[in-house]
Amino acid sequence: MNVINGDHTGPLPVWMMRQAGRYLPEYKETRKIAGSFLDLCYNPELAVKVTLQPIDRFGFDAAILFSDILVIPDALGIDVRFEEGRGPLLETVDQNSIPDINDGNLLNHLTPVLETVERLREELPDKTTLLGFCGAPWTVATYMIAGHGTPDQGPARQFSLNHPDSFQILIDKLVIASSAYLIAQLKSGADAVQIFDSWASVLDENQFERWCVKPVQQIVSNVRTEIPNAKIIGFPKGIGAFYKGYAEKTGVNMLGLDWTIPMKFAQELQSEIPIQGNLDPNRLIAGGNALDDGIDAILENLTDGPLVFNLGHGITPLTPIAHVEQMIQRVRAFRR
C-alpha cells in the first residue's frame, strides 16, 4: 500500500497476476473438490483457501481475491461456463438482447464473492495488501460479443464499428455494474482494486479512447464518489504509446505495465505515477539466466521510483514452481 501512495523507500513488494492457479498442485486439488470453476469462485470457503495458497507458499506481499472477470456477465444473467481446456464459453449478446441486460440481481448474485473478500481481510495479516478486481468494460464485452476467447477480439471490434450505439449501451451497463462491484469489494475489505483491460491493445486511437479510456475513467469517478480515497490500479495490457496519458485521463493511482515497453519509457511513466510489473511470464517459464536477466533489468531500471514487482501478465500453468521461488529470492535479496 505504501507504493501505491508513491513511497519507494521500503522493501520492494512483489506479487504475481494469476498467482492462484493451475501451476500449483494445491490449487488443482481444491479445484477438483469445488466442481466447476465458477462453483469455486462462488464458494467463499474454498475461494479463501485458494487465494491464500500462494501467500502461504511464497509469502507474497499482496493477495488477489480469487474470482474471475466473467462473474459480471454471469451476475447480469448471461450464461457463462468454463470448460476444461477450452476456456470461457458465454451466451452471446447482440443488438436485440443488449437492451434487456438487467443488473437487478447483480450484488445479490455476487454476495459469495464479497463474503470471500470479508473473510480474506480477517484472515490475512495486516501487512498483506488485499486486492479486489474487475475486468474493464471493453475486455468483458469482447467475451460477451464473441462468446469465447479469440486471437484478436475481431467479433467485438466489428460489432463496435457496425453498431456503436448498441455497443455503447453494453459498455454503459458494464460501467454501472463494475462500479457497484468495486465499491462493494472496497467496502468488504479490499485495500485496493485492479481493473484488468487485457484486450486494450487491439483498438485504434479513436476506439481506444471511447471504449477503454472513457469507461475506466467513469468507473474510477463512480468509485471515488462513494469512496473518495479509493486506490485503483489500471492494467491496460499491451497499449504501448497509449500508456502515456492513460493514468491522467482515467484517474487510476497505479499503472500495470506489460513487458513490451522500453525501460526508458517505463521510467518516464514512473516519474508521473507508481508502476507495477513487468516481467515477461515466458522468462518465468524459461528459468535460469533468462529469468535472472529479466528480473535484473527491472531492478536496475525501475527501482528509483515507486514499483511493485509483478509479471507483465498472468503466470501460466506451464511454469515450474522452482522458477517462482528463484524469482522471489532474487527480488527479496535486492537492496536499494
Nearer to ligand CP3 by Cβ, of 21 and 137: the residue is 21
CB atoms inside a 10 Å sphere around CB 125: 7
Q: In the bound complex, what is the minimum distance in angstroms from residue 132's beta carbon to ligand CP3?
A: 10
Dihedral angle computed from the Cα positions of residues 326, 51, 251 and 298, in that order, rounded to the nearest 10 degrees: 0
Q: Minimal CB distance to ligand CP3: which residue?
A: 198
Rounded CA-CA distance 101/99 in Å is 6
Question: Which one of residues 21, 215, 236, 306 is an interface residue with ligand CP3 (CB under 6 A)?
Answer: 21
Where in 282-321 is the site for ligand CP3 (CB under 6 A)? 314
**Among 169, 224, 178, 223, which Cα is nearest to 197's?**
178
* HEC-encoded secondary structure of the chain: CCHHHCCCCCCCCECCCCCCCCCCHHHHHHHHHHCCHHHHHCCHHHHHHHHHHHHHHHCCCEEECCCCCCHHHHHCCCCEEEECCCEEEECCCCCCCHHHCCCCCHHHHCHHHHHHHHHHHHHCCCCCEEEEEEECHHHHHHHHHHCECCCCCHHHHHHHHHCHHHHHHHHHHHHHHHHHHHHHHHHHCCCEEEEEECCHHHCCHHHHHHHHHHHHHHHHHHHHHHCCCCCEEEEECCCHHHHCCHHHHHCCCEEECCCCCCHHHHHHHHCCCCEEEEECHHHHHHCHHHHHHHHHHHHHHHCCCCEEEEECCCCCCCCCHHHHHHHHHHHHHCCC
Task: Report in angstroms how near the CB of residue 274 gets to ligand CP3 at its nearest.
Answer: 19
The CB-of-9 to ligand CP3 minimum distance in angstroms stands at 27
198 versus 218: smaller Cβ distance to ligand CP3? 198
Nearer to ligand CP3, 148 or 187 (CB): 148
Q: CA–CA separation, 156 vs 138, rounded Å?
A: 9
60 binds ligand CP3 (CB under 6 A): no
One of 11, 25, 59, 87 touching ligand CP3 (CB under 6 A): 87
Q: Is 81 in the site for ligand CP3 (CB under 6 A)?
A: no
Among 61, 68, 74, 191, binds ligand CP3 (CB under 6 A): 68
37/265 with CB nearer ligand CP3: 37
Q: Which of 8, 18, 163, 249 binds ligand CP3 (CB under 6 A)?
A: 18
Indicate whether 82 belongs to the interface with ligand CP3 (CB under 6 A): yes
Q: Which of 19, 43, 201, 222 binds ligand CP3 (CB under 6 A)?
A: 19
Q: Which is nearer to ligand CP3, 22 or 57 (CB)?
A: 22
Among 14, 69, 233, 299, binds ligand CP3 (CB under 6 A): 69
Output the nine-digit C-alpha cell for 297: 533489468
Q: Is the CB of 99 or the CB of 317 nearer to ligand CP3?
A: 317
Residues 237/200, Cβ–Cβ less than 8 Å: yes
CB of 18 to ligand CP3, least distance (A): 4
Contacting range for ligand CP3; rule: CB under 6 A; set: 133-141, 223-231, 242-250, 262-270: 133-141
Nearer to ligand CP3, 31 or 323 (CB): 31
Work out how close the CB of 131 gets to ligand CP3 at its nearest, in angstroms, rounded to a whole number. Answer: 9
Task: Please identify, using beta-carbon distances, which residue of 13 and 305 lies nearer to ligand CP3.
Answer: 13
Q: Of 17-25, 100-108, 218-226, 239-247, which part binds ligand CP3 (CB under 6 A)?
A: 17-25
Q: Give me the residues that bind ligand CP3 (CB under 6 A), please.
A: 17-22, 31, 37, 64, 66, 68-70, 82, 87-88, 133, 135, 139, 149, 196, 198, 314
